[in-house]
Amino acid sequence: MKWKEPTFGATPMLRALTTANAHRKAKAFDLAAEQKKQKLSYPDWAQTWMRKYKEDWYIAQASGDEIGMRKAQKLAEGLRSKLREMATMPKWAQEQLQKETIRWMAAEASGNIRGKLAAEKAGRAIREKLGLVDTTDKAPPIDKEVKSNKSEVKEVPAVNESKQYVSVRQLEQLGWIKISKAMITDLNNCLERYNITTPARIRHFISQCSHESAGGRYTKEIASGEKYEGRKDLGNIHKGDGPKYKGGGYIQLTGRHNYQKLSTALNDPKVMEGVEYVAEHYPWTSAGFWWEQHNMNALCDKGATVRQITKKVNGGYNGLKDREMYYKKCENIF
């Protein structure tokens, strides 16, 4: 009679050993290699969940649970897909979708079906906001004007013609839409004011603003700004300061303190009226002000990469591929 390896079944001791071993393997999992392979950058919260899914997979593998293994793989791939999607979004959408993604994963882990549905609904709402703008719309012509009582077309002088660094046509080539005369004026005034005048500086500045604003579609933060309420580090000391001084402009200027600094720099007290005023009148200038405050020109002059510039603007590397795409376009335009 041949010897047969004894089996013990899923005893509490065996389950504990299996879980401990799976946890050890998941902790040792090489996330750096995983990110390189997937061509993704995992923020801390995503790394935590990815390790959890690896642990679930190891536990399922140890017990021969093929369904559990497939489920863990599917959840991990779903997370990667979400990260890729978020990388193409403007900053406000990334933050909101990250929140809903975490909420969905937590609900899925606890079996909270209603929580999952709520997170999915919120995620759809974010995507709908991004899709509200018809990207096929053509920008109204702003380099010509038609007199109301005459059929002749009259040329309008270029904005600050001697100092026009970027034209309407160039922004259109980048994919910007609905370019107004006020916008192009603000842009060229901004470039002149903050000395963003070399090819490298212009390329980095325009490409970063293009990503942050989704090609000029958003001049202010979409979220309510309630999360900034009471933030003394932003100077929000009065009730309502959070929404009033939420992110304004193409690189979102945030907080009473920063709005006051911009107001003083421009000698325009109306800036303190809040985000609506800045978004309408200074979408570019507010971004240029931030650019100068953070000494970005010097970084550009040193030959910084898009990745290095993104780290300064974003604090991480969210949307890096999209920013690199815009920068490559800028290289062919400016």
User: Given this model, what pLDDT does residue 311 score?
Assistant: 94
Q: How confident is the model at residue 26 (pLDDT cuts 50, 70, 90)?
A: low
Q: What is the pLDDT of residue 282?
A: 94
- Catalogue the long-range contacts made by 134-137 (C-beta closer than 8 Å, 24 or more residues apart): 135/175, 135/177, 135/215, 137/177, 137/178
Q: Which of 93, 102, 191, 183 is nearest to 139 (CA)?
A: 183
Q: What is the mean pLDDT of residues 139-160?
A: 34
State the helix-helix crossing angle for 113-131 and 91-110, rounded to 10 degrees.
Answer: 160
**Would you say domain 168-331 falls under CATH 1.20.58.1880?**
no
Query: Tokens in use for 81?
Result: 């897909």
Residue 14's pLDDT band (boundaries 50, 70, 90)? low
Cα dihedral: 250, 254, 258, 259 (round 10) = 80
Instruction: Please identify which residue in the block is written with the tokens 């009582």.
Output: 149
Q: Quick check: pTM over 0.85?
A: no
Q: Are strands 144-146 and 153-155 parallel, antiparallel or unpaired?
A: antiparallel
Evaluate whether 291 touches 190 at the Cβ level (below 8 Å): no
* CA–CA dist 289, 191 (Å, integer): 10
Please state, for a pLDDT cut of 90, what percent of the chain lies above it.
46
Does 76 score more than 70 pLDDT? Answer: yes
**Mean pLDDT value of segment 162-181:** 86
pLDDT in tens, 95-125: 888 888 888 888 888 778 888 888 888 888 8
Considering the chain, tell me which residue range(s) the CATH 1.10.530.10 domain(s) occupy. Answer: 168-331
Exposed/middle/buried for residue 260 (C-beta within 10 Å: 0-12, 13-18, 19+): middle
Does 241 or 26 have the greater pLDDT score? 241
For position 132, what pLDDT does the model report?
Answer: 36
Structure-model confidence comparison of residues 313 and 26, the more confident one: 313
Residue 183 pLDDT > 70: yes
The whole-number average pLDDT for the span 12-34 is 69
